[in-house]
Amino acid sequence: MLRGINVSGLRKIAMKELVEVCKGIGLRNASSLLQSGNLLVESSLKAPQVETLLQDEICLRFSYADVDVIALTAKDLVEVISGLPEDWRTHDSSKLHITFFKSILVQASASNGGYAPDLYALRGKVAYVYCPDGYGRTKLNTRFFERLCKTRATTRNWSTTLKLQMLAVA
């Protein structure tokens, strides 16, 4: 997952170009999902190595030094999906989002911390976010979590995360 490209029409990179970049640096079976920085690749490299390799190439090719790559394995995505708080499983899934962090958080916690009706739960490298009035209205956005957790992050809705997980394990 790439942070900070193709958002609000800014910093555009065509997914077709990104797929070609992946192939050019030796990542196999590269494909994209949607136009918002979701890539699927195969590699014998570990996730942090893929992150560094792809970030460096994006910087070189497109001159975007602050595009972060957050790489997850298929197993990671399965764990993220299964890690949704149990009592959230009946929530409207169109109001669920997952913020993925660049580095691992030390402890798990949950809070509404004055943000009701919005909720979040921190677990491992993600924050589960529930926004009954819509993500566009919440204060629990990517920047909120970057400040709170002191790491870079990117957010995907539940549907996109499910699609990525299904494609990754296929």
- Domains parsed from the chain with CATH numbers: 2-69 (3.30.70.1280), 74-169 (no CATH)
Cβ atoms of residues 83 and 124 within 8 Å: yes
pLDDT averaged over consecutive 10-residue blocks of the chain (170 residues)? 71 85 94 84 94 91 86 95 94 97 70 82 92 94 91 94 91
Q: Is the peptide bond before 117 cis (omega within 30 degrees of 0)?
A: yes
Placement of tokens 């976010």 in the chain: 129
> Which string of DSSP letters, residue by residue, matches 29-54?
EEEEETTTTEEEEE-SS-HHHHHHHH
The predicted pLDDT at position 81 comes to 96
Q: Is the pTM of this model over 0.85?
A: yes
The predicted pLDDT at position 82 comes to 95
Cβ atoms of residues 54 and 64 within 8 Å: no
Q: Which residues contact 140 (CB under 8 A, 6 or more apart)?
A: 115, 118, 120, 127, 129, 131
The predicted pLDDT at position 111 comes to 62
Alpha carbon separation from 148 to 2, 62, 111, 141, 155 (Å, rounded) = 20, 30, 12, 11, 15
The predicted pLDDT at position 114 comes to 76
